[in-house]
């Protein structure tokens, strides 16, 4: 019984991960340069009252962008972030999060 349960769970995880497209960091970098760098800085370290994004995880960036896209306020800069996130697709968010969280740069 345990073996068959493990097989079902492992198969479900493989199918789920196969259906999730890989994020495109290059697309995220281009989007970041066009829309985010003016406030968060070209190196993602923040500027003035705009927070640094360095050291943030993919999950954190994804969650915040999804929250802003939904029109929910999260902090003092929500009024600026909500309009910028409104038209982002799930792929856009995944690409931005992959680029922003990339620590290899």
pLDDT per residue as tens digits for the range 4-46: 545 555 555 555 444 456 899 999 999 999 999 999 999 999 9
Give residue limits of the domains in the chain: 24-101
- The reported pLDDT for the residue numbered 10 is 52
Please tell me the distance from the alpha carbon of residue 88 to that of residue 66, in angstroms, as a whole number.
9
Q: List Cβ neighbours of 57 (8 Å cut-off, separation of 6 or more).
A: 101
pLDDT per residue as tens digits for the range 44-98: 999 999 999 999 999 999 999 999 999 999 999 999 999 999 999 999 999 999 9
- The reported pLDDT for the residue numbered 19 is 46
What residues form DSSP beta bridges with 47?
50
CATH of span 24-101: 1.10.760.10
- The reported pLDDT for the residue numbered 17 is 46
- The reported pLDDT for the residue numbered 80 is 95
- The reported pLDDT for the residue numbered 68 is 98
Reported as a pLDDT band with limits 50, 70 and 90, residue 104 is low
- The reported pLDDT for the residue numbered 16 is 47
């Amino acid at each position: 019984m345990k073996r068959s349960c493990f097989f079902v769970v492992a198969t479900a995880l493989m199918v789920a991960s196969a259906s999730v497209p890989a994020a495109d960091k290059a697309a995220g970098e281009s989007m970041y340069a066009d829309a985010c760098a003016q406030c968060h800085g070209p190196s993602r370290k923040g500027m003035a009252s705009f927070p640094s994004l360095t050291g943030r995880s993919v999950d954190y960036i994804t969650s915040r962008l999804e929250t802003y896209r939904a029109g929910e306020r999260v902090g003092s800069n929500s009024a600026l972030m909500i309009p910028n996130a409104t038209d982002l697709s799930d792929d856009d968010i995944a690409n931005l999060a992959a680029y922003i969280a990339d620590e290899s740069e």
